[in-house]
Structure 1
């Protein structure tokens, strides 16, 4: 058996501690499967004295991640600290420049600097693996980077944030408000004290930008994503969706169009009987549509110590199995030097149309005015429903419109025209409807 693969870990939080525990408990199986032992020989974290319930006696302690990357006797640098800048960015770059393989779960770092880091890795002929950065334990990175080679991907989309999916699931199944569900998610540790990064869609956007590059061979472009979170979703929207046969999910969607690549993150209505609609709680799901394979859906745990550590360990095992000097799979599926410049597409028509909820004054002529605004923008309506306000108000009512396929720009212009009228009470709600081809 060849020499052990020596691993250094920067970050011993939930994921890091789980990774250490799994490697120690499965040492014999890993050695047989990988053809060589995997040993943790160096570690670093914020607090050396903290009891993490793991044995670190055989690992050298470094005070900083940068020191570990520069000085430790290791073959692989594992970064589990997080953050697009600072110590994580400096240490990962230093490790690559030194000629070390790198494994990271840091989607923010990859979204910000993935192309730069890929160039360094490819110049140094080392591996930069990041399966755990997107959708936790779901092997979507390997699928796009390796397994779907030869396929032309037309669309990739999915539920990529467990916090948002948990909140929307609780709202629907228990009739709770957004605020109540968010508070519960924070109590259970699913949401941070400041949850804005999750609930406003930024976390999903980072993950989507990485998948977009792998799927379409373009440079990573996290700032070119239409972004909308779930903080404005109300229990009224949840009930209306259910009445229409839909469930609301926060989806990240990237697709190839005639004018470029379209990336968007937003609440979406999906048919209740679709498979992706059944993905509840903190579970993630990613779908890939391609010309040869057709439709592929991967579902599994999107977060948590063991799920994420499993993906990190899979990346380490791939390195252990690789031969020195062997041809490396490009970090981002396409060699970094060959990635095409990102070209943002115009938001196009959507197959499923739009859900529009309006709160309006209860007076004559409102219906006719709304219909006229829609017609002026060439929007065809599938249905229009009037409801009394749930609070029993007799001065306002709710109107729900469902459109046929139309242009994003047309919907926005129609809604702006309605907002200019004096009868609107409150901000309109617009939610896209997606009808997955196979799910």
Structure 2
């Protein structure tokens, strides 16, 4: 059991970012696989190899509207001396009971229709007179006006090699081939392939259900009127959107007032639809830090070892954090700070990887790169803290956006990267190479 299950941890300990992240990722486990209908599996991770039960295409078929013929019957055909062939039938997509094509014969064929027996190649309709006997026709719709079963002749003005304009059986994938391997994230093309080989359901790890709630009696919902000392609740919207962006099914709960009993009751009510819970606010040392008050002693009442540990991290922003498990099913809970930038940076560093672990993904972190700090002022950072500053990244260069304040929502909205300043660095001069977390 991780240290998250022991809330009695040393309250004076200063955790590193890496220690806290390791605690989260060793506690969270991938969700159990389930069988889902294809559309419900969008964004999920496949847990088993899928082999092809039937070749694609399952039969030789035409890639063009035209005529199915024998190669020898059109050999040497040209504008001056076209091959004149008897039309013995029509072959539409989905047709069965195909007409045999013999010497001197042709079958009118539609795109996707099976190649009839005896035919060796397809000549496009543009290479013929369209079967009308009165010059070239640029399509096959005109011929469809003829009575059903009508026969006639077609003039072919070009020769064709064997198998020309024919999609061979199994030319995409063959029966027994590996269609998709375990670990594949199912997007639209992958779901299309599964449908094409006849799979209506697939076994995957489901997208995790994440419940996000913010705390604070000062919070008002957007579109409502602000009162004295009130602010709009932005964190729950940003974090719910971030959870969905990470691949989760995320539910946003309205802001909970600063009352420990109300918060505890709300969390208990939400556990029924949560694989992961995220709270924001109420985790520092203030008199109204409701999350700490509501959850700090859950482990004392839970003989199974659950509980939430509140700790200080050597990072800026995002020093106060909480992590543990709650409820009889030990649902992981990450308690994030209330300042907008602190909560979002904390989400990117800790919650997003946890969501990706629940999904069963191997690569759970945002990509990182090295970049040159753009010209301007030097960056300052508190000693002993790993600082994450907002920035914009382009062409190997990163430019800071806004200041270090954890309330600067507008600056955060313009950023697409986090500039990482290590714990042992107090100043970074322009032109210095720095580590960058790419958010886009």
Normalised-by-shorter TM-score class = under 0.3
Specify which structure has the higher proportion of helix: 1
Higher gyration radius (CA): 2
**TM-score, normalised to structure 2's length?**
0.26
